[in-house]
Amino acid sequence: MIFTDDFKARLRLLSLSLLDAIKIGLVALAIVLPIRLFLVCPFYVKGASMEPTFHDREYLLIDEISYRFNQPKRGEVIVFRYPQDPKEFFIKRIIGLPGETLKFVNGQVYLLKDKSMNTWTKVDESYLPAENQTFALEDGEVTLGSEEYYVLGDNREHSRDSRYFGSLHRRYFIGRVMFRGLPIKRAQFFEAPTYTLTETGNTETESSNQQ
């Protein structure tokens, strides 16, 4: 078979195009693969424990790198390994930070501000519906260790969280929720909310069991 000059030119162009496509693919893979393996990971929400913030089967991206350089913040939503079964992954919100003492009074979360004066501050959680109250399973205060956090689901009446399994050690953290990709109409980036800590003085503990 005799190839014409025009055919040879087209063949060269096709070869160059394929070579460029392969190069682009390799570069993209070199960028995306490390991001996927070391920086972010996908997570599907399972269950209703984080409603109304996150709903069942929503698709999230988890930032796995930030906590290597920065301390977790109050209000950040994190994915972590369930301490009682590390093969399971949970999603909850950070409420208590290392070294803090907290308790629940009349459906609200309080942090100890001054131990000598027994003064407390109420954590105003604007992202929760007004009817969404937080009750402890047992009376008493909780004091967190140096690497311990207290995590709660936003759906307080239907969440298995630190009220059940206790404080969460940082070694179980996978990362923080940084983006919701699906459903598209609810796509959104996430940062830690700004809290108002209202000083209330002495409090009387009135806890009740969850349903």
Which residue numbers are catalytic? 49, 92
Q: Which among 52, 60, 77 is positioned nearest to 188, based on CA atoms?
A: 60
Residue 126, C-beta contacts closer than 8 angstroms, at least 6 positions apart: 193, 196
- Residue bearing tokens 């109250």: 133
Q: Which among 175, 152, 170 is positioned nearest to 162, based on CA atoms?
A: 152
Long-range CB pairs of 141-145 (<8 Å, 24+ gap) are 141/101, 141/102, 141/103, 141/112, 142/96, 142/101, 142/102, 142/103, 142/167, 143/100, 143/101, 144/96, 144/97, 144/98, 144/99, 144/100, 144/101, 144/102, 145/98, 145/99, 145/169
Neighbour-count burial for 43-69, b at 16+ CB within 10 Å, e otherwise: bebebebbbebbeeebbbbbbbeebee
